[in-house]
Amino acid sequence: MLAGYAVHVEDTRGRRFPEPPHAYRNDYQRDRDRVIHARAFRRLEAKTQVFTRRYSDHFRNRLTHTLEVSQISRTIAGALSLNVDLAEALALVHDIGHPPFGHAGEKALDAAMRAHGLFFDHNLHALRIVEDFEQRYAAFRGLNLTFEVREGIIKHSHDYNPNDHPELAEYLLDKRPPLEAQLIDLTDEIAYNTADLDDGYEAHLLTLPSIRKGVPPFDRFYREVEQIHPDVPEKLKFNETLKRMLNRFVGNLISNTQTRIEQAGVQTLEDVRNHSQRLAAFGPEVEAERKQAKDFLYENLYFSSTLEPEKDDAERVVSELFAFWMKNPTSLPHNYQEQAGREPLPRVICDYIAGMTDHFIFEQHEKHCGSVMRPHK
């Protein structure tokens, strides 16, 4: 049974191009499946989360991260009596617009675009992917996703100003997104705050003493695990601790969001949309713990000196390839040259680069810019 404030699939605002109902899948299940079968989704397997494959292939990539976000989102949506199918579809599509090399690639691509008076936003790029770039159907371009999934792509993590984005007017920018979409940014943080501690520890870039000192909830749970399992190997103690930390984040997000819903008197989806603020949130104590973990990762992992050469290479590859194609647009694939007749060349180049996997962009850089990138030791 769905709550009254959940998104009910029978009330969907529908698809841009109407389609007959499917025999045994509802609209959000079909959207989920369309995302999974999209080429852009498959490419996430070869896109960096934190560690590039040149560092190691043991760690999470953008696809495995997405699957973890999906699992957490389904769990929380079910506990809150929300639409699990919609939450799953939104989780699976939430990172589909990311370029190669993780945030370093996004930073370089945005800088290249701003030099031409434009910008790169991975949420807006994700919308372009599902609306236009994916070509799987004879009757229409794109994936023809439901309004609610397209709205969630845009609004799950960011409130766009209607005055700055008139092209997004159909997505109700003056209203809050449904709770299923509100959850995604928070489940994303739960997933990477815990997973990046795990990968950083496995990579020997984060030490157990540093994590225990810098992330108080981890230390508290580690001491608990030591009392219960004093003789197991350190890595298993680490795993048990991380599991408890993840459970705390998830449990608190469920209970605090439910409390906020009740306190706000929310009973319908329109109540959610018209509320003065987003209702999905951690409680104050866990929000502080989330911030501690995130700050620790930024200070000790994401900006670590060990990963700096990889980030520098990533930014250089993106910047140099962008500059090359601005000077040599006839070297672009034919379909992108055709697109350049309809849209500004910087946007076309941005679209091409953003769709690349890590290894393909290295191949293109070697081909057009002449340098071979070597793994850093």
For the stretch 156-180, pLDDT in tens is: 998 999 999 999 999 999 999 999 9
pLDDT at 84 > cutoff 80? yes
Compute CA 359 distance to the chain's CA centroid, rounded to the nearest angstrom.
20
Q: Cα separations (Å) of 236 from 66, 198, 217, 226, 229? A: 24, 11, 17, 10, 9
Please give the pLDDT value at position 377.
42
Average pLDDT, the chain: 94
Query: How far is Cα 153 from Cα 127, in angstroms, rounded to an integer?
Result: 7
Ramachandran angles phi, psi of 80, nearest 5°:
-95, 5
pLDDT, tens only, 318-344: 999 999 999 999 999 999 999 999 999
Q: Which residues pair with 146 in a beta bridge?
A: 15
pLDDT at 293 > cutoff 70? yes
Instruction: Enumerate the domain spans of the chain.
Output: 9-302
**Beta-carbon contacts of residue 350 (< 8 Å; ≥ 6 apart):** 109, 112, 113, 118, 120, 125, 322
Query: How far is Cα 269 from Cα 243, in angstroms, rounded to an integer?
Result: 33
Confidence of residue 376 (pLDDT cuts 50, 70, 90): very low
Q: What DSSP letter does each residue of 118-174 carry, written as one string?
A: ----HHHHHHHIIIII-B--SSSSB---BHHHHHHHHHSS----TTT-GGGGGG-TT
pLDDT, tens only, 58-70: 789 999 999 999 9
pLDDT, tens only, 233-281: 999 999 999 999 999 999 999 999 999 999 999 999 999 999 999 999 9
pTM (2 d.p.): 0.94
**Beta-carbon contacts of residue 206 (< 8 Å; ≥ 6 apart):** 197, 200, 300, 301
Q: Which residues pair with 142 in a beta bridge?
A: 135
Nearest Cα to Cα of residue 346 among 329, 334, 331, 330: 329
Tokens for 50?
């934190």
Confidence of residue 130 (pLDDT cuts 50, 70, 90): very high
Domain 9-302 sits in CATH at 1.10.3210.10
